[in-house]
Chains A and B, each alone.
Chain A
Amino acid sequence: MHLSELAKSGEFIITCELASPKGVNVQDFLDQADQLKSYIHAISIGDNPRATMRAGSWAMCHLLKSRDIEPIMELATRDRNRIALQSDMLGAAILGIENIILSDGHDPSVGDHTEATRVQDLNCISLAGAAKTLAGGHDMTGHALDGTPSLCLGITANPGLEPLEKQLDTIKEAVAQGAQFIQTQPVYDPAVLERFVDSIYNLDVTIIVGHMMLKSVSMASFINSNLEGVTVPDAMMKQLEGQPRNIAVETSLQMSTNLIKTIRPLCHGIHFIPASWERYVPRIIEALTDR
């Protein structure tokens, strides 16, 4: 199912990210997916996230699809040229993968194959353009296709990253090329999200806001110093300070629930980035639904 159609039906979308294994043991992955299945609308799989080599996103997405879980496949321009990128979008379509997030991907220098060639034949805007062309029945060089894929394309954004104007230009171009949803980095300050949403209010695009539970003060500090554009407000830091581990979990889940309830009217959905707290995602979703 296209995420954008789900949003139009008035459903508040809930998605969760799962990590593809580095290797071929998919048991943990499938267990996590099965536990999340009844709580979420879709599971997204990164494309060798942070330039770290893992089993292919398309393969995990196909496994999810065969278990009746809607997948979202990330496709990064870092590792493939335009032949492979277009081909992989066609391949996704025949494997039942409809939602694709286009990204440029991290530079190989931050990953585990620092010598890998950064391909970057296209960027996420030109890739969105290529996807639009495919959906219209032609490839990038104008050759007619034998069977046209049905895709719902998304892009990523970071609402707290300055200058916002530069990102807005990218978003506008990508939406003009056919991007239908935006998946954002985590946002902990509702005011930051409000400013972002206001700045794109005239675009017909589904906004799914990233959320990463704060496991501890040290994790929050790490986010503040390492995740560009993402800020955990002082008030949240204070709530987590000095708490023993078991109470910190409860506090954290409560904070997540409160934050999501606050930002819910501003967006069309939430995207959980569990950072190994997959097991707590259902609890937050349950807390969101009993109002």
Chain B
Amino acid sequence: MSIVELVKQGKTVVTAEVGPPKGVDVKELLENAELMRGKIDAINVTDQQSSVMRLGSLPVCRLLVEKDLEPIFQITCRDRNRIALQSDLLGAYVLGIENVLCLTGDHVTLGDHPEAKPVFDLDSVSLLRAAKELEEGKDLSGNELKDTPSFCLGAVVSPGADPLEPQLIKLEKKVKAGAQFIQTQGVFEPEKFEIFMKAVAYLNVPILAGIIPLRSPGAARFMNSNIAGVHVPDSLIDEMEKAEKRMQKGIEIAARLINDVKSLCQGIHIMAIGMEKRVPEIIEAAGM
């Protein structure tokens, strides 16, 4: 079921992220996905996250469809021009993939192929528009399609960004371009998130709050200095420092954050990078 349909049912939607391997061994990824079966509503598959070359989101989403698991296909503008992006969208629909999260993508210099050509023929907003056009029966040049796809289109936002204003402007553009659900960057400050939610209420779009379980105080500090729009407050870092079992503490904090934010928004998106196996535990700890 698409994210939008799930939201319409009035429940708190729960999604979680999996990262494809760098290679063709998908055993562990499928095991992790299997652990999430029945516990979450959809599995979000990252696409060359941080510009590191990996197996793509699309083929993995197809494997999930074949296993009767609901995927969210992440598509980025960094590596493909408008011909390939539209072509991939049509292919995705043909293979039963409906939820599509449209991203601009990180710059190539962050990844493991810094010499790769950054394409950026489109960006997240024009990609959303292109997907919307396809749904209306035309490609970006206005050529008619033979039967039309139907997607559930998503986009991202960073509620913790400082200043927030540019994020809000971009979000409005994304929603106007066709975004039907929004997934946020990791949320660590529920009070700030509440302010953000009030600011975007007029857009009337379902929002899934991003939850990143902390693995260590170092990981928190790393995110603060390297990931745009993420801010882990000192109080949480201190809590992690003092914890005897840090992994356990990280899960506890994640569960607490989920409970603090879930009534403010329509869903939760868990980004447990490298600890996908703990996702069921986080959900349980949050009492969901």
Binding site for A on B (CB under 8 A): 21-26, 48, 51, 53-56, 58-60, 62-63, 78-84, 86-88, 90-95, 108, 111-113, 115-121, 139-141, 143, 145-149
Given A58-B91, A91-B55, A147-B23: A79 touches B145 (CB 8 Å cut-off) = no
Kindly list chain A residues whose C-beta atoms are within 8 Å of the C-beta of B80: 79-81, 84, 119
Binds B, one of A105-113, A244-252, A253-261: A105-113
Give Cα A115–Cα B82 distance, bound, in whole angstroms: 9
A237 within 8 A of B: no
A24 and B148 contacting across the interface, CB-CB below 8 Å? yes
Contact with B along A81-93 (1 / 0, CB 8 A): 1111011101111
Additional 10 contacts, C-beta under 8 A, given A24-B147, A25-B147, A148-B23? A53-B139, A53-B141, A59-B90, A79-B81, A79-B87, A81-B119, A111-B83, A113-B141, A116-B83, A121-B116
Please provide the 10 A-B residue pairs with the shortest distance between their CB atoms, ordered closest to farther.
A56-B91, A147-B25, A59-B91, A23-B146, A91-B59, A145-B23, A84-B79, A23-B145, A146-B23, A25-B147
Task: Chain A residues near B60: list those with CB within 8 A.
Answer: 91, 94
Nearest chain B CB to A170 CB, angstrom units: 21
List 24 interface pairs A-B (beta carbons < 8 Å), by A numbering: A23-B147, A24-B90, A53-B82, A53-B140, A55-B87, A55-B90, A56-B94, A57-B91, A79-B84, A80-B119, A81-B78, A81-B80, A81-B108, A81-B116, A88-B56, A91-B56, A108-B83, A114-B141, A116-B83, A121-B116, A140-B53, A143-B53, A148-B23, A149-B24
User: Would B91 and A83 count as touching, CB distance under 8 A?
Assistant: no
Contact pattern, A 126-169, Cβ under 8 Å of B = 1, otherwise 0: 00000000000001110101111100000000000000000000
The residue in chain B whose Cβ has the minimal distance to the Cβ of A84 is: B79
Does A83 lie within 8 Å of B25, measured CB to CB?
A: no
A113 near B90: Cβ-Cβ < 8 Å: no
| Alpha-carbon separation in the docked complex, A80 to B59 (Å) | 16
| A22 on the B face (CB < 8 A) | yes
Nearest chain A CB to B62's CB is how many angstroms away?
6
**B145:A24 contact, CB within 8 angstroms:** yes
| Contact residues of B: prevailing secondary structure | loop
Give chain A residues whose Cβ lies under 8 Å from the Cβ of B117.
81-82, 119-121
B140 to A113, Cβ gap below 8 A?
Answer: yes
Could you tell me if B146 and A25 are in contact, using CB atoms closer than 8 angstroms? yes
> In the assembled complex, which residues on chain B have CB atoms less than 8 Å from the CB atom of A23?
90, 145-148
Max chain A C-beta neighbours (<10 A), residue from B23, B25, B62, B63 = B23
The reply on A51 being an interface residue by CB < 8 A is yes
Cα–Cα distance between A122 and B62 once the two chains are bound (Å): 27
Count how many chain A residues have C-beta atoms less than 8 Å from C-beta atoms of the other chain. Answer: 55
A59: chain B residues at CB < 8 Å are: 90-92, 94-95
Q: How far is the CA of A146 from the CA of B111 in the complex (A)?
A: 17
Q: Is A7 an interface residue (CB 8 A)?
A: no
Q: Does A54 contact B (CB under 8 A)?
A: yes
- Bound CA span A118–B145, Å: 23
A92, chain B: closest CB distance, angstroms = 8
CB contacts (< 8 Å) of B112 on chain A: these are 139, 141, 143
Per-residue interface assignment for chain A, residues 9 to 50, with 1 indicating a CB less than 8 Å from any chain B CB and 0 otherwise? 000000000000111111000000000000000000000100
Cβ–Cβ < 8 Å partners of A94 in chain B: 24, 26, 55, 59-60, 63
Q: Does A217 contact B (CB under 8 A)?
A: no
Complex: how many Å from CA A39 to CA B38? 44
Which residues of the other chain, A, contact B90 by a CB distance below 8 angstroms?
21, 23-24, 54-56, 59
A227 to B249 alpha-carbon distance, docked (Å): 67
A148–B55 Cα distance when bound, in Å, is: 11
Smallest beta-carbon distance A26→chain B, Å? 6
Q: Is the CB–CB distance between A90 and B23 below 8 Å?
A: yes
Are A53 and B63 within 8 A (Cβ)? no
**Which residues on the B side are within 8 Å of A91 (C-beta)?**
55-56, 58-60
Name the one of A55, A87, A114 contacting B94, with C-beta atoms under 8 angstroms: A55
List of A residues within 8 angstroms of B95 by Cβ: 59, 62-63
User: Which residues of B lie under 8 Å from residue A148 when comparing CB positions?
Assistant: 23-24
Q: With A22-B143, A23-B145, A86-B53 in contact, is A80–B22 under 8 Å at CB? A: no
List B contacts of A62 (CB < 8 A). Answer: 62, 95
Chain B residue nearest in CB terms to A87: B56
Q: Which residues from chain B contact A114 at a C-beta distance below 8 Å? A: 141
Residues of B within 8 A of A243 (CB): none
A236 at the interface (CB under 8 A from B): no
Residue of A nearest to B59 (CB): A91
The answer on a CB contact under 8 Å between A48 and B146 is no
Indicate if the CB atoms of A112 and B143 lie closer than 8 Å. Answer: yes
